[in-house]
């Protein structure tokens, strides 16, 4: 071991003591002889704590060259070396140091001692690390960006690009894009605008909406431009391009679909009006004729055929229009509190005549946990039940048809309806297909059974509107069951279970104003109302209706919506404004029956809304509603 006498070491003591960097004297064997105050402060040890320590004792264990023997091999010809190394401070913190080592020898080149100088570069290293992380993040962002990123210089030539730019343009980055004129992609005019104006005019990027590919095709893009600054100087720009070709296709498809739906809705409104108006005459006049007492049996039989044919035709029309309205989103639920048993009974009454002819028994069961009154759309629920019951009667030649209602086993927020028959059954292969529009079970059935094949398709859509699902079960020979659910909703206070007291059947003579421009509808409505014992005055447009209410008192007005001179909505607003609380009840009558019509009527001040063809029962219900019968 070499012994070093400190008295033999010559150095400037003042520099040693007051240097801002750490200095230590190390023996040829690697023992620390002494350190200056800056080294003590740097590593956090007192001078005496360095006695007997080796230089490797303070080095981070992950450093390859730990002690003086490892460092000797790194010394240059003049006996010096400089390196960046990590050290462990007394408090456990890691410190980066810039270490310089110089070997001093005697005249015979025998090593005497080493002088080490250390500068704390921890902050500098942290800055470098953060910079490197930032560069890596940027590189990753650029590399994996879903948009094409192209950097180019002030000479208009491409500096670099990411993978997405390569895919979008068709050019290879290394061999084709780098060094290429950007004008090849976006045109000279756009490049000049960017270089001349984009630093102060952000609108330039809106002019770049196309990018030309290697194959000569154009791609629609949404462009962004960002300047590149180095040392405060603008050296180029980034061009970021998003391919919006697919979005444009989707937008075009959306606009086309919306235009198609609009045309479909307009056609639907026209067809609804044009078909229902003459049907109002057919159905209404047959009802009036059947009320006559002096008809012969032959005449009554002929009229019954007309009535039945008219109702069948109306049912087909309603199915087609209902499906069209549902698909066009023009049907919404009209929800209220209603008697569930009454709804089922009303559904049975519609098909009971046909069931009686076949001697089929009709039954229904409500489980004890099913409420008597629920909140929902009774007419749409009735429509589903009538469709299912009608099919059951159609395909059942003997036996029974039943309806069962129970709570859903998954929770109390749904009801389950099961319509079961003892009919011919359904081939299991057809159980899913029967809910598609115009589906009928085979060509034989198409010949033997009337109908459009829309009932189940409409039922499925209505059930889904009511928050449920529908499916069928059958083994193909022993009848079938149709099961559907509806969601129960929170409702205002339910009425008493005793139900509503029935209205009196005693007729009250009511003064009625009928505003209708169609001669057939005038005749049907006026005859129907007069046969009920009411006084009817007829006007042919809204202007005449607005004038008539000032000449005579009316209890109720049946107001057609589509009339010349002044339509029904405009006439209603004028009447309500002029008569205020003295205004008669105004009922909208329309052949459209589309989504939003009822709301428009109520907003205009009308009291209720009915659609054509108008039936006697509907009119009676309205008159009872307003205590006019």
pLDDT tens sequence across 562-595: 888 899 999 999 999 999 888 999 999 887 656 5
Give residue 324's pLDDT band: very low, low, confident or very high (50, 70, 90).
Answer: low
pLDDT tens sequence across 266-282: 676 666 667 767 777 77
Q: What is the pLDDT, as a whole number, of residue 275?
A: 72
CA 284 to CA 288: how far, in whole Å? Answer: 6
Domain 6-125: give its CATH superfamily.
Answer: PAS domain (3.30.450.20)
Q: What is the pLDDT, as a whole number, of residue 571?
A: 93
Would you say the pTM of this structure is higher than 0.85? no
pLDDT tens sequence across 246-263: 888 888 888 887 777 677
User: What is the third-level CATH fold of 336-487?
Assistant: Heat Shock Protein 90 (3.30.565)
pLDDT tens sequence across 372-382: 899 999 988 99
Would the pLDDT of 172 be above 70?
A: yes
CA 185 to CA 152: how far, in whole Å? Answer: 12
Would the pLDDT of 475 be above 50?
A: yes
pLDDT tens sequence across 492-529: 654 444 444 444 444 567 899 999 988 888 888 888 88
Q: What is the pLDDT, as a whole number, of residue 622?
A: 85
Q: What is the pLDDT, as a whole number, of residue 496?
A: 46
What letters, b where the CB count within 10 A reaches 16 and e where it falls short, cover 472-484?
Answer: bebeeeebbbbbb
Q: What is the pLDDT, as a whole number, of residue 498?
A: 42
pLDDT tens sequence across 416-432: 999 999 998 988 988 88
Which are the contacts of 89, defined by CB distance < 8 A and separation ≥ 6? 42, 43, 44, 95
**Whole-number average pLDDT of the chain:** 83
Q: What is the pLDDT, as a whole number, of residue 16?
A: 80
pLDDT tens sequence across 38-75: 999 999 999 999 988 988 889 898 887 667 777 777 77
Would the pLDDT of 443 be above 50?
A: no
Q: What is the pLDDT, as a whole number, of residue 445?
A: 44
Q: What is the pLDDT, as a whole number, of residue 328?
A: 62
Give residue 329's pLDDT band: very low, low, confident or very high (50, 70, 90).
Answer: low
Residue 441 dihedral angles phi and psi, to the nearest 5°: -80, 85
Which are the contacts of 5, defined by CB distance < 8 A and separation ≥ 6? none
CA 479 to CA 493: how far, in whole Å? Answer: 40
Class of domain 511-625: alpha beta
Strand positions, DSSP E, 449-596 = 470-474, 480-487, 511-515, 535-539, 556-560, 585-590
* Nearest Cα residue to 514 out of 533, 534, 536, 531: 536
pLDDT tens sequence across 335-377: 889 999 999 998 898 888 889 999 999 999 999 889 989 999 9
Query: Which residue did the predictor score with more confidence, 139 or 111?
Result: 111
CA 151 to CA 226: how far, in whole Å? Answer: 9
Q: What is the pLDDT, as a whole number, of residue 146?
A: 79
* CATH number belonging to domain 145-243: 3.30.450.20
Strand order in the sheet with 22-26: 32-35, 22-26, 111-120, 94-105, 80-88
């Amino acid at each position: 071991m070499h012994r070093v006498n400190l008295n033999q070491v010559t150095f400037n003591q003042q520099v040693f003591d007051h240097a801002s960097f750490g200095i230590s004297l190390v023996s040829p064997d690697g023992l620390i002889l002494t350190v200056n105050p800056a080294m003590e402060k740097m590593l956090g040890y007192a001078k005496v704590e360095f006695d007997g320590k080796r230089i490797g004792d303070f080095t981070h264990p992950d450093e390859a060259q730990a002690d003086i023997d490892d460092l000797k091999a790194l010394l240059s010809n003049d006996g010096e070396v400089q390196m960046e190394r990590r050290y462990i401070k007394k408090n456990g913190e890691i410190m980066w140091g810039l270490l310089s080592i110089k070997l001093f020898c005697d005249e015979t080149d025998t090593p005497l001692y080493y002088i080490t100088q250390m500068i704390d570069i921890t902050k500098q290293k942290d800055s470098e690390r953060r910079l490197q992380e930032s560069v890596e993040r940027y590189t990753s962002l650029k590399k994996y960006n879903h948009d094409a990123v192209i950097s180019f210089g002030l000479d208009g030539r491409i500096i670099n690009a990411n993978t997405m730019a390569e895919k979008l343009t068709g050019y290879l980055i290394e061999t084709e894009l780098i060094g290429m004129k950007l004008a090849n992609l976006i045109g000279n005019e756009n490049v000049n605008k960017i270089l001349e104006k984009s630093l102060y005019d952000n609108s330039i990027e809106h002019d770049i909406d196309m990018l030309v590919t290697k194959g000569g095709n154009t791609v629609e893009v949404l462009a962004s431009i960002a300047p590149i600054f180095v040392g405060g100087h603008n050296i180029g720009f980034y061009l970021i391009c998003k391919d919006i070709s697919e979005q444009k296709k989707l937008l075009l498809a959306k606009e086309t679909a919306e235009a198609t739906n609009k045309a479909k809705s307009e056609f639907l409104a026209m067809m609804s009006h044009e078909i229902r108006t003459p049907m109002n005459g057919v159905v209404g006049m047959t009802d009036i004729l059947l009320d006559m007492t002096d008809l012969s049996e032959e005449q009554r039989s002929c009229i019954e055929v007309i009535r039945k044919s008219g109702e069948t035709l109306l049912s087909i029309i309603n199915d087609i229009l209902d499906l069209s309205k549902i698909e066009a989103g023009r049907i919404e639920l009209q929800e209220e509190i209603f008697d569930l048993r009454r709804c089922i009974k009303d559904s049975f009454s519609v098909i009971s005549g046909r069931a009686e002819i076949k001697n089929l028994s009709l039954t229904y069961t409500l489980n004890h946990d099913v409420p008597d009154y629920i909140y929902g759309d009774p007419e749409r629920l009735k429509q589903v039940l009538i469709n299912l019951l009608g099919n059951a009667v159609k395909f059942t030649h003997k036996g029974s048809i039943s309806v069962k209602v129970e709570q859903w086993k998954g929770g109390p927020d749904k009801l389950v309806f099961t319509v079961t028959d003892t009919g011919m059954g359904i081939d299991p292969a057809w159980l899913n297909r029967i809910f598609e529009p115009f589906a009928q079970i085979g060509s034989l059935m198409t010949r033997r059974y009337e109908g459009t094949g829309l009932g189940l398709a409409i039922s499925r859509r209505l059930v889904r509107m009511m928050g449920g699902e529908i499916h069928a079960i059958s083994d193909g020979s022993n009848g079938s069951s149709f099961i559907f659910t509806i969601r129960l909703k929170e409702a205002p206070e339910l009425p008493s279970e005793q139900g509503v007291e029935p209205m009196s059947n005693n007729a009250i003579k009511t003064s009625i104003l009928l505003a209708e421009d169609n001669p057939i509808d005038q005749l049907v409505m006026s005859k129907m109302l007069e046969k009920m014992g009411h006084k009817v005055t007829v006007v042919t447009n809204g202007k005449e209706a607005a004038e008539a209410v000032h000449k005579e008192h009316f209890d109720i007005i049946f107001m057609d919506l589509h009339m010349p001179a002044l339509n029904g909505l405009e006439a209603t607003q004028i009447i309500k404004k002029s008569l205020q609380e003295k205004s008669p009840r105004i009922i909208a009558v329309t052949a459209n029956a589309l989504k939003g019509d009822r709301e428009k009527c109520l907003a205009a001040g009308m009291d209720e809304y009915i659609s054509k063809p108008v039936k006697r029962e509907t009119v009676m219900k309205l008159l009872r509603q307003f205590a006019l019968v």
